Amino acid sequence: MKKISVLLIAVATIFSSCSDYLEVENPNAIVSDKFFSSETDVQKAVAGIYNAIRSNACLGETSDLYSEERSDNAGRTDNQSAAGTPFQFTNFTLVPTNPEMTNHWNALYSVVSRANYVLSNIDNPSIRFTNESNRAVYKSEALFLRALAYFHLVRKWGDVPMVTRFMTAYEDILAGTFRVKRELVYQQIAEDLSNALNSDLPDIQPAAGKGRTSKAAINGLLGQVYLTMGSVLPDNKQANFARAKQYLEAAYAMRGFGQLSEIPYQDVFDVAKKNTCPEIIFQIVYRQGDQNYFSNVAFRNQAIGETLNSKRTSTGSGFFVNPDLVNDYEAGDLRKEFSVKWANHASAKTWFITKYRDASETAGANGWGGNDFILMRYADIVLMLAEVNERLGNTAEAIGYLDQARTRAGLPDYRTSDANADYHARYPTLKLAILHERRSELAFENHRLFDLLRAFGDNPQEFVNYFKAKKAADYGISDLNNVSKKDIYFPIPFDEHKLDPEKMYQNEGY
């Protein structure tokens, strides 16, 4: 497996320091087998794993191609030329040779490789730490990031190769390169995250540690993993939901506030408050005004003729928002006004994203914004608690969590809304009401695809039916007739399958 061989022997990128991990040094400066001679070396290698997730081919701010555009939230206005292969995601015509998909696969395995390098070397007793507890902290970070990468891989491809040690011998790599059943991958993810809790990581990172994981983030991810297992795996559903509740409640207990309504929705995305907002649990850090490490999300989303997001002049229509999402917001929902806007320019009569804004003087006309990309926040935890309690039959508890989000959004509580005939017709069950609430709350934060897979992934035909029930006119130029049961997974990249069709068998339908 030549392609994966390259991934698994990759040496972790080296950084100048963990406190300033955006500054990248030459990754070839230190020979890999002599790398871990001090705590500083370990610190740099762990920072290298964090750097890997910030890639836009991995989980960075423009990785929405692999999630939002694969869901019913966003799409494309161009299906030709350079947009032809990205259009396959939203048009449900993805093929094994798709280059963006292959890049995503490679980027996720780069995270795995870097994490394995750290985990295979960090227990060397010759490495001296200023405080021995730091060894456990760095190990926890590597375990968390490896679990995060595998969680994306297993949800997008199902059975995937699972490697948990750093390998350099080609024969070992060949022997270890085969698709592992998804149940075992989930088991490894849960084990990694459980072990990651065994350190002195803070419950929530202080301002100086933003961009690094925490115990709240680990508990939150572990809760989401068990929630997913209970939703999509055929066995042990109730036990998995019970574990999900346990870990989500642990994350929730670590918050530094009471109800969501104490934190204005717009504060969560305010560039000036990104290091102090108590709702944010885990984020990818970008640097305002820095030509190398700036965020492009505000300008990228902005439509021609608009200035709300960025001072940089826009020439296109921005990131295309499906009218289906806009129509799903309830009347009076404060999140709609903040998150989307209609562009009325002659060249762009469409909805565009306004959730990410940086029109500061520092970002300036270049659009070098400082928006961090949030991977986990407390509204997500709260609504997952609503979801898991609904699955466990704890209706009152589920509604209580659901109402936290609705209250902040300026909406009536669930029971009042459910008494309204129109609302009840659109969301006839509590499960669908929670799914709708997550969509309104977390739009453009790369959650929607996974929410749909949890809701319908254990019955692929339900996934298909959900999409085909939508109005084609509200879904842009994508053809919903293309949706089929195969689309709960991506295809295995062509090169991986071709080099060993037996061990790297293709997903059904591709």
Interatomic CA distance for residues 300 and 310, integer angstroms: 9
In the predicted model, what is the mean pLDDT of residues 169-193?
90
pLDDT average, residue stretch 212-229: 98
pLDDT computed for residue 317 by the predictor? 85
The secondary structure element, H or E, covering residue 120 is helix 99-121
Residue 169: pLDDT band with limits 50, 70, 90: confident
**For residue 80, what pLDDT band results from cuts at 50, 70 and 90?**
low
Q: Tell me the mean pLDDT in the region 28-39.
A: 61
Kindly state the average pLDDT of the residues 163-190: 88
In b/e form, how buried is each residue of 150-176, taking b as 16+ CB within 10 angstroms?
bbbbbbbbbbbbbbeebbeeeeebbeb
pLDDT in tens, 335-351: 999 999 999 999 899 99
Give the pLDDT of residue 224: 98
Integer-rounded Cα Rg, in Å, for the chain is 22
pLDDT of residue 457: 81
pLDDT at residue 8 tops 60: no
With cut-offs at 50, 70 and 90, classify the pLDDT of residue 494. very high
State what percent of residues in the chain have pLDDT above 90. 85
Q: Side chain identity at 104, as an amino acid letter?
A: H
State the pLDDT at residue 5: 41
Domains of the chain and CATH, by start: 1-183+459-510 (1.25.40.390), 286-371 (no CATH)
pLDDT confidence tier of residue 33, bands split at 50, 70 and 90: low
Determine which helix (DSSP H) or strand (DSSP E) holds 342, and give its type and residue range.
strand 340-345
pLDDT at 34 over 60: no
pLDDT value of position 81: 52
| pLDDT of 127 over the 50 cut | yes
pTM beyond 0.75: yes
Give residue 18's pLDDT: 38
400 class by beta-carbon count within 10 Å (0-12 exposed, 13-18 middle, 19+ buried): middle
Per residue in 456-492, is it b (16+ CB within 10 Å) or e — as a string?
A: bbbebeebbebbeeeeeeebbebebeebeebbbbbbb
Angle between helices 99-121 and 133-157 (to 10 degrees): 150
Which residues lie below 8 Å from residue 187, measured CB to CB, with a gap of 6+? none
* pLDDT for the residue 83: 62
Distance CA 157, CA 489 (A): 5
d(CA 244, CA 224) in angstroms, rounded, equals: 6
Averaged confidence pLDDT in the chain: 92
